Amino acid sequence: MAYTIFRSDLMTATKDASKHVFFKIVTADVENGNVLKIGKLVTGERNSYTYTTPAVNTPLTSIAILTTPELMADERKKNLNEFINEVGTTARAFMLEKGDVFSVTAAGLTNAATIAVDDIVELAAGTKLKVVASATGLTSGSTKVGTIIGIEGDYFRIRVGD
């Protein structure tokens, strides 16, 4: 199975470590490029947070996108799309800031076959981001994440807050 590949093109968190969040993955494997709602610090931990699946109206300030470096213990796996954050591991995530630009492959988005530049990206009731054709297509009460600003091969570039 091919998993989402995440690319941090121009993100605040790449220079500002205060925008990093770490999650202890506990319920199910989660792909990079998926979003989680930040919870409370894990008891006895200094940097690991609990998480929940975001609702469509979760504030963007409570969301982080998984960005764990793709290190695979199985030496036979060579492709980035074979990496997933497994239960029991600690996953790195970046908090989103207005103006950030990141890219994900189609596996991280809904409606990937119909995505076009200027489409709107919003939260869905789950960990994957939802893409709609225009602002009028936004789900009622949903949180807008950003806009598709480019398509580069297998990657969809998203600017947060646009």
State the Cα torsion 63-117-5-97 to the nearest 10°.
-30
DSSP assignment letter at 27: S
Q: How far apart, in whole angstroms, are the C-alpha atoms of residue 114 and residue 95?
A: 27
Q: What is the pLDDT of residue 84?
A: 87
Query: Taking the domains of the chain in order of start, what are their residue ranges?
Result: 6-160
Distances (CA, A) of 31 to 76, 87, 91, 108, 136: 19, 11, 10, 8, 29
Q: What is the pLDDT of residue 76?
A: 61
Q: How far apart, in whole angstroms, are the C-alpha atoms of residue 63 and residue 84?
A: 19
pLDDT tens digits for 106-116?
A: 999 987 778 99
Other beta carbons less than 10 A from residue 46's beta carbon: 7
Q: How far apart, in whole angstroms, are the C-alpha atoms of residue 162 and residue 158?
A: 9
Q: Profile the chain (162 residues) by mean pLDDT over runs of 10 residues.
A: 89 95 94 96 90 94 92 64 88 96 94 87 92 73 92 96 79
